[in-house]
Structure 1
Amino acid sequence: MKWYHLAQRVIGGYACTRSEAQEMLRVADDETLDLVYGAYQLRRHYYGTAMKLNLIINAKSGRCAENCAYCSQSIYAETSIDAYPLVSEDVIVQGARQAYENQIGTYCIVMSGRKASPREVRTVCSAVKKIKKEMPIKICACLGLINGEQAKALKAAGVDRFNHNLNTNASHYDQIATTHHYQDRVATIKAVKNAKISPCSGVICGMGETDADIIDMAYALKELDADSIPINFLNPIPGTKLENMDELNPNRCLKILAVFRFINPTKEIRIAGGREVNLRSSQNLGLYIANSIFIGDYLTTKGQDTTKDYQMIEDLGFSIETKAVETKI
């Protein structure tokens, strides 16, 4: 089986080529399971059957001045979401308690907006210190663009990981956002790494990108050495610029996941937003490739009932990873 043998070569140190990645995206649908099986060899070799769970708190919602085409929180989107300022420290800490009680390995504090204000950074840092004193849970912050000093403050407070997605390929970026640039995102990831915080960066697929764009994104994240790579699949929200975009189906999503696993075999690959609406009844197959998922709701869209996620993991014979281990970089 071709993909099985390629996986064995990758485990032995071989680097997957662009032409091989392109072939993965063009695999016939009736051969998708062969590709999934190959990708599973990598997932099993590096992560066994452990599944990492992540939970989001939408700590600040809406009123974002950026014009990201996919986002319901942008002031340019004609949506009716809940908009509110940064929640209190107590609310953030209570969310962490609930996450820890539900076997969540990483608690993700997410804020809307281009960047956090100094006061908001202080609030997040204070909340993280309280969480770390109380429970052994990994903390990921997603606060928009940050500089080196802010990154150092977050590290000192106990933030383990910082998320800032590339979202799409550099050559496609102007089709998705123009109020900031691709290189702004790269600079934030580098600031995070310089502060010795584990970098988390991923993509949103299904936004009009080409196969070459998807492959370029996978290699860009390899070059940045992101420890965690969330793969979002566009959930087109009414009122956003991409509300009528419909490019994905379960087989396409599985092929995309396989590309990111083969190119970044040792990294945490997370199925993120849009999992339920795009993978649909093939969600369980995605877990043979990815070793991480979000549990519960996303920022402004609903996830599936959490009992279904826990049942899916159990039915696959997988185990939930609960130990909070700080990634060394």
Structure 2
Amino acid sequence: MELNIRKYIDEEITKEEALELCQLKGSKLLELFNVANEVREKYCGNKIETCTITNAKSGKCSEDCKFCAQSEKYNTCIETYPLKDLEVLENECKEAIAHNSDRFAIVTSGKGIQKGTKDYETIKKFAEDMSKENIEICCSIGLLNEDELKTLKEAGVVRFHSNLQTSIKAYKDIVATTHNVLDRVETIKAAQKVGMKVCCGGIIGMGETWEDRIDMAFTCKELGVDAIPLNILNPIKGTPHGDREVLSVDEILKTIAIYRLILKDKNIKVVAGRESILKDFMGSAFLAGANGLMIGGYLTIKGRSVEDDFKFIENLKKIWKS
């Protein structure tokens, strides 16, 4: 029977139907991209959402995430440092404001920044100061409880980030063993309970199956998160995933498109790997359902210039509106 992809512009897609789409090739794959782009336009409009992050505390992380250069368990030769000073963080945020970024996120290594510590108080003060500015303040600071999140929300943090990384069932095998993925889920639910928006996605290319990718998308849907960052594994030497082959372009674009059909009205962001792996096909991601990107670089990997990214965004908007 001929697969009717266009019905998903209006209809919800089931997990079984999404898995069928994973097999598409050739002209049917191009049709999938086109339909995903129509879904993006219908439910999200023609706005590209941008965010900027700072690697506020780098390295010496106790966790064993197999993709991450910042784990103390792997020899990756990255720069390590404690939490940046408040003035440095605020100046970086002001640069993001000057670049017209929609939001600015403090990202720290480690299992979590607990209330009562100097680091927590610095982040809280940062939120109090910068939430008065024309930018949305976000945090990605590990596993927090409801009280810790509530205090940050009252200080001015609008959005909290915590990635599932992959399916719940595959997490222990391909991501980490030093913490439970359900702890991440509890942090997400606690952030929502105190009134924060949530950014939650993951990484593709860690050896997961198509079923794992689809499961992650449906978990994000069930949790009702606001934004889904999709990272493409850029293998880092010294980590357990350091020798993996990178995903093919068609597989990456297919993943983005299927995520759009599942998560119709959500912000789907193409994050790490956008420049280094998609390369000449980077623009295709935004013609296959994506509508957000990170500008100004990542945690331990540099991105391209902010100026080039904004030129890219302006050209993309012209295509979307033509």
TM-score range relative to shorter protein: over 0.9
Paired residues of 2:63 and 2:111 also in contact (CA < 8 A) = yes
Report the counterpart of residue 217 of structure 2 in structure 1: 218
Deviation at 1:29, TM superposition (A): 4.3
Tell me how far 1:30 sits from its aligned partner: 4.7
CA deviations on 1:170-211 (whole Å, 9 max, x unpaired) are 221112210001111111101101111111110111111101
Q: Does 2:245 align with 1:246?
A: yes
Aligned match of 1:235: 234
Alignment partner, residue 147 of structure 2: 149
SS at match of 2:170: helix
Counterpart of 2:64? Answer: 67
Q: What displacement does 1:308 show? A: 2.5
Match of 1:94 among 91, 96, 104: 91
2:295 aligned partner: 295
Match of 1:178 in 2: 177
Per the TM alignment, residue 52 of structure 1 is displaced from its structure 2 partner at its CA by 0.9
Please tell me the residue identity of whatever aligns with 2:210: D
CA contact (8 A) 2:235 2:246 kept: no
Q: CA deviation at 1:80?
A: 0.9
Q: Judging changes above 3 Å, is the alpha-carbon distance between structure 1 residues 29 and 206 closer, same or farther for their aligned structure 2 residues?
A: farther
Structure 1 Cα separation of the partners of residues 318 and 216 of structure 2:
29
- 2:218/2:262 contact within 8 Å kept: yes
Ranges in structure 2 where 5+ consecutive residues have no aligned partner:
none
2:283 corresponds in structure 1 to 284
- Aligned residue in 1 for 2:12: 15
Per-residue CA shift, 1:81-133, capped at 9, x if unaligned?
A: 11011111111111111001101001011010001133222110101111122
Q: What secondary structure sits across from 2:237 in the alignment?
A: coil
CA gap of 1:169–1:61, structure 2 versus 1, over 3 A, is: same
Question: Amino acid of the residue matched to residue 312 of structure 1?
Answer: F
Cα distance in 2, alignment partners of residues 286 and 162 from structure 1: 25
Alpha-carbon separation, structure 2, partners of 1:105 and 1:214:
27
67-76 or 165-174, which moves further after superposition? 165-174
d(CA) in 1 for partners of 2:26, 2:283: 17
Q: Report the Cα offset of residue 278 of structure 1.
A: 2.3
Relative distance call for 1:252 and 1:122 in structure 2 (3 A) is same
Q: Which residue of 1 aligns with 2:260?
A: 261
Change (3 A) 1:318 1:239: farther
1:207-242 per-residue CA deviation (whole Å, 9 max, x = no partner) reads: 111011111101011011011111111110111110
Residue 112 in 1 paired to residue 113 in 2? no
Cα distance in 1, alignment partners of residues 50 and 31 from structure 2:
26
Between the aligned partners of 1:143 and 1:45, the Cα distance in structure 2 is: 34
Deviation per residue, 1:5-24 (Å, 9 max, x gap): 22332xxxx21012321122
Query: Shift in Å at residue 4 of structure 1?
Result: 5.8
Please report the TM-score for the alignment, with normalisation by the length of structure 2.
Answer: 0.94
What is the distance in 2 between the residues matched to 1:183 and 1:191?
12
Kindly tell me the number of residue pairs found equivalent between the two proteins. Answer: 315
Give the conservation status (yes or no) of the 8 Å contact 2:9–2:261.
no
What is the aligned-residue identity percentage?
37
Alignment of 1:48 onto 2:45: yes
State the distance in 1 between where 2:135 and 2:205 align.
32
